[in-house]
Chain A
């Protein structure tokens, strides 16, 4: 199972919006809504930011939003803030004959 493809880095100035893409290659990725996004600060555990493509867990700012079109999912951060500087990973779950999870390659977000 190949990792999902993300850009290595994305940057933006405070207040701007940025979008991180996550591209899968399987029909399961494009057909189902099992895509989630995680934020990871250095030395910390990952934190769930988006689940089921576009849903935010309780306590997550509405500046974070998710979407999916075809085989590409996206995470958008609007009103970029200094604390948003972190690594971001997408993740998908495949309900095939060999169910499994796969993470994206990860994107470093830099706030300029």
Chain B
């Protein structure tokens, strides 16, 4: 059974860097895509990007392209979302979700990581 476990809540200042993680604590996700989804407090879900764990394919939403970097460490079945310079507008809950390669839906979700960016 896939079980996605995300890293804990973060409080950062504008301009700081941050990398949050999403690890499968069940079995290997080698045949899965991992997506990152942003939810600003009180707002809807926004797809940010998706990475294929068995390869190097990455898709980014145009709204975040260049603003974040999605990566993966296959050896530990973990995906990452990285900011080099945070902004106050990055304050949100971030969810990771997995999709089996060949499917077009996210069937398992992490618990979410709350990122707060404030001076």
Question: Measuring CB to CB, which residues of chain A are less than 8 angstroms from any residue of chain B?
Answer: 1, 3, 34, 36, 38, 40, 45-48, 51-52, 57, 87, 89, 91, 93, 95, 98-106
* B109 in complex: contacting residue of A34, A47, A87, CB < 8 Å: A47
What class of interface size applies to chain B in its complex with A?
20 to 34
**A86 CA to B111 CA, complexed, in Å:** 17
Stretch at the interface among B10-18, B43-51, B80-88: B43-51
Tally of A-B Cβ pairs under 8 angstroms: 60
Tell me the nearest residue of chain B to A102, going by C-beta. Answer: B47
User: B47 near A48 (CB under 8 angstroms)?
Assistant: no
Asked if B105 and A100 make an inter-chain contact with CB atoms under 8 angstroms apart, the answer reads: no
Please report which residues of chain B, range 15-63, place their CB below 8 angstroms from some CB of chain A when the two chains form the complex. 35, 37, 44-47, 50, 59, 61-62
A91 to B45, CA, bound (A): 10
A5 to chain B, nearest CB (A): 12
- Residues of chain B having any CB pair with chain A under 8 Å: 35, 37, 44-47, 50, 59, 61-62, 95, 97, 103-107, 109-112
Contact status B105-A91, CB under 8 Å: yes
Given that A100-B59, A101-B35, A103-B44 are known contacts, is A36 also in contact with B109, CB under 8 Å in the complex?
no
* Chain A residue contacts of B97, Cβ below 8 A: 46
Give the residues in chain B near A101, CB-CB below 8 Å. Answer: 35, 47, 50
A98 neighbours in B (Cβ, 8 Å): 59
In the complex, which residues of chain A have a beta carbon less than 8 angstroms from the beta carbon of B62? 1
Task: Report Cα–Cα, A34/B95, bound state, in Å.
Answer: 21
- Separation in Å of the A3 CB from the closest CB of chain B? 8
Q: List 7 A-B contacts (CB under 8 A).
A: A3-B44, A34-B104, A34-B105, A47-B109, A48-B106, A93-B105, A103-B45
Provide the bound-state CA to CA distance between A40 and B42, in Å: 12
On chain A, the residues within 8 Å of B44 by CB distance are 3, 87, 89, 103-106
Given contacts A45-B111, A52-B104, A89-B44, 16 further A-B contacts (CB under 8 A): A1-B62, A36-B105, A40-B45, A45-B112, A46-B97, A46-B109, A48-B105, A51-B103, A51-B107, A52-B105, A57-B107, A87-B44, A98-B59, A101-B35, A103-B47, A106-B45
